[in-house]
Amino acid sequence: MVSRRDFFFGAGAITAAVTSSAVSRVALAGLPEAVIQTRADTMPPLQPQSGRPYNPVVTLNGWTLPWRMNAGVKEFHLVAEPVVRELAPGYKAHLWGYNGQSPGPTIEVVEGDRVRIFVTNKLPEHTSIHWHGQRLPNGMDGVSGLTQPAIPVGKTFVYEFVARRPGTFMYHPHADEMTQMAMGMMGFWVTHPKEHHPLISEVDRDYCFLLSAYDIEPGAYTPKIMEMLNFNLWTFNSRIFPGIDPLVARQGDRVRIRVGNLTMTNHPIHLHGHEFEVTGTDGGPTPLAARWPEVTTDIAVGQMRQIEFIADEEGDWAFHCHKSHHTMNAMGHDVPTLIGVDQRDMTRKITRLIPDYMVMGERGMADMAEMQMPLPDNTAPMMTGKGPFGSVEMGGMFSMLKVRKNQPAGDYRDPGWFRHPPGTVAYPWQGKLAEPARTQQAGGQSMPLQQPPTAPLEVQVRKPSGHTGH
């Protein structure tokens, strides 16, 4: 990260009019430092050094943007620019983002704060920022052409408003939105309550991240911006498993997880080993009467969800999207299903011409996790998570909640693999297996077919056809 030694020491007051318009040269002399982050690690929570106190969040594989106080106003500086994001170790994508990363840094404020956000455009085209879910003056809403002129290339605009209500929000462009969001332009925003709120609990750990998806061809670096359905990379905060950091907690901690969805489809986010309640959305905290125990919550496009639970069960618990295709990488949608097809004769013939040829999918896709198939440069292999008992066979939108008795408060480091007490791990049966009872008598169709088939039909292979998404 760029040094912050001068960040909290402004170079003078901002004297220009603070509107969604170009900033004068006088004002530019007083811009807050643009702090840049190039690492994809989960950074420790940024403890507030000025302004109202609050309990900070931790952004999964991300960070919080520092600020300075200027005459009682909390000032931030966002730089919209091309970035290189490491999606997984050794696998990088050329995206657009903010301050060196995609997603951009999390912005944290307190209810009632007056905030001033300088936005410098270093993209190759104009842009804007919409403050998703915020109550603010119409001219600060960030819809180019409707509420403001777009921010031209090389210019800096200023947004200023009061954070009127606590909650979980995000920011993203509303200029050439399809392109810019497909390229990764998004970020998280958290407004903390200024005092005790009857519907907002105090928590020990507060996590946040965004859901995003990309279609990047094997060996390529840049997403296809015209894609709507057939994505091959599904991410938590633009990271894919096993490159996603775990969420860690001390046993007994009250944990909050905030998730925002800026993909093209919904995501049922599922937590193992615990029940949670949905305690808030981008509309604010949910009423107590509207909460019930869940283990999965569906997050639609453009929605925010915050869930809370007591981490009372020790272990390494899976935390993932429950759409199975979203826990793989990097998927090809036109691979034929060859389960049950004997390919031995064909394989022998092909390997005479292509010695490295490998059979795929005749016994399912689990073999993919163990195959050492050569891949194009800059390609993420599928299902490469390695756990304490073997291949985890997951990718994409998958991580873990690691709960430990002795995890120190404020320590977000990975504690390693869980040591299971004796007798608490599934084990192979050594006894004799009984023959399963089978019956054809149970159930049946409601009425006979009018035109029954003349002969049994067995289909082994279906040729690839058009794909309509998932």
Say if strands 91-98 and 254-261 run parallel, antiparallel, or are unpaired: unpaired
- Residue 337: pLDDT band by 50, 70, 90 thresholds? low
**Residue 374: its pLDDT value, please?**
66
Highest mean pLDDT among 13-17, 172-176, 335-339: 172-176
**Residue 335: its pLDDT value, please?**
61
Q: Tell me the average pLDDT across 182-193.
A: 97
Beta bridge partners of 298: 268
Give the start-to-end residue ranges of the domains of the chain: 25-204, 207-326
- Confirm if 78 and 120 have CB atoms less than 8 A apart: yes
Q: Tell me the average pLDDT across 84-107.
A: 95
Would the pLDDT of 16 be above 90?
no
Cα atoms in the Cβ-side hemisphere of radius 13 Å centred on 305? 21
Tens of pLDDT, residue by residue over 360-388, are 656 555 555 555 566 678 777 766 778 99
**Residue 372: its pLDDT value, please?**
58
Interacting residues of 315 by C-beta distance below 8 A, sequence separation 6+: 273, 402, 403, 418, 420
The per-residue pLDDT of the chain, averaged, comes to: 86
Query: Phi and psi for 114 in degrees, rounded to 5?
Result: -90, 125
Helix, coil or strand: residue 182: helix
Q: Tell me the average pLDDT across 291-317.
A: 97
Would the pLDDT of 344 be above 80?
no
Q: What are the angstrom distances between the C-alpha of 173 and each of 179, 218, 304, 337, 381?
A: 10, 28, 17, 40, 31
For the sheet with 107-110, list strands across it: 107-110, 187-192, 167-172, 130-132
- Residue 232: pLDDT band by 50, 70, 90 thresholds? confident
Q: Tell me the average pLDDT across 3-32.
A: 44
Q: Which fold has domain 207-326?
A: Immunoglobulin-like (2.60.40)
Q: Tell me the average pLDDT across 197-221.
A: 94
- Residue 21: pLDDT band by 50, 70, 90 thresholds? very low
Query: Phi and psi for 435 in degrees, rounded to 5?
Result: -70, 125
**Residue 2: its pLDDT value, please?**
45
Number of Cβ within a 10 Å radius of residue 344: 9
What is the dihedral angle through the alpha carbons of 268, 269, 272, 276, rounded to the nearest 10 degrees? -100
- Confirm if 317 and 269 have CB atoms less than 8 A apart: no
Would the pLDDT of 201 be above 70?
yes
Q: Tell me the average pLDDT across 106-131.
A: 98
What is the rounded CA–CA span in Å between residue 80 and residue 185?
Answer: 8
Cα 229 to its chain centre, rounded Å, is 18
Q: What's the angle, vertex CA 92, arms to CA 359 and CA 375, rounded to 5?
A: 20
Would the pLDDT of 105 be above 70?
yes
What is the rounded CA–CA span in Å between residue 13 and residue 427?
Answer: 68
- Which value, in Å, is the radius of gyration of the alpha carbons in the chain? 26
Interacting residues of 448 by C-beta distance below 8 A, sequence separation 6+: none
Q: What are the E-state strand segments in 61-185?
A: 68-70, 73-88, 91-98, 107-110, 114-121, 130-132, 156-162, 167-172
Would the pLDDT of 13 be above 80?
no
- Residue 114: pLDDT band by 50, 70, 90 thresholds? very high
Would the pLDDT of 17 be above 50?
no
pTM above 0.95, yes or no: no
Helix, coil or strand: residue 161: strand
Q: Identify the CATH class of 25-204.
A: mainly beta
Residue 254 identity (one-letter amino acid):
R
**Residue 386: its pLDDT value, please?**
85
- Confirm if 320 and 327 have CB atoms less than 8 A apart: yes
**Residue 297: its pLDDT value, please?**
97
Burial class (CB in 10 A: 0-12, 13-18, 19+), 375: middle
Which has more pLDDT, 110 or 391?
A: 110
